[in-house]
Amino acid sequence: VRSRRTRRLRAFEEQLPEAIDLLARAIRAGHPLAAGLKMVGEESPAPVGGEFRRVFEEQRFGLPPEDALLGLTERVGLMDVRILVTAILIQREVGGNLAEVLGKIAYTIRARFAIRRQLRVYTAQGRFSGYVLAVLPIAVGSMIFLLNPDYIATLFREPVGQVMLVTALILQLLGFLWIRRIVDIEI
């Protein structure tokens, strides 16, 4: 369930700038916000289209626009969506050029994606090192077992060897998680 949720959120994140651009174009063309939300809901692929369609439907059935937009932030839970909804709500209270604000939000989201991709390139060596360091002891132990089974069998027979194996597995796991945490940079 967690992996499906992550895939859905990534797809939503990737489609969000295009949806925001479509909403900004609709507003520039003179459509009200609700009509722009309907257009995004109809013309955008899932999952973005479905969420914007739901916001439009909730408004159409009587939910205040603010509550429908805040419901979107609760369902999706992405920082970019919170920024979008906050900008729309502020514009509804204060006024201003919503199309221009939406265009800048879309540009900012795209810039964040570019930075995130660049970070993945920069951290690829660290990730690869973590995978190699996690697999290397298992591979070397397997090769030694194939060449001289009696030598490795001592680890499984003797109590001290069993403690060493358990300790090695725990330390391997901790090292792998530590490297992964070092390489995982939040944006």
Q: Are 48 and 59 in contact (CB under 8 A)?
A: no
Sign of CA dihedral 64, 70, 46, 87: positive
Per-residue pLDDT of the chain (187 residues; tens, 9 = 90+): 999 999 999 999 999 999 999 999 999 999 999 999 999 999 999 999 999 999 999 999 999 999 999 999 999 999 999 999 999 999 999 988 999 999 999 999 999 989 988 888 888 888 888 888 889 998 999 999 999 999 889 889 999 999 999 999 999 889 888 887 887 777 6
Indicate the pTM of the whole model.
Answer: 0.73
Buried b (16+ CB within 10 A) or exposed e, 17-46: bbbbbbbbbbbeeeeebeebbbbbbeebee
- Nearest 5°: the CA angle 116, 68, 12 is 25
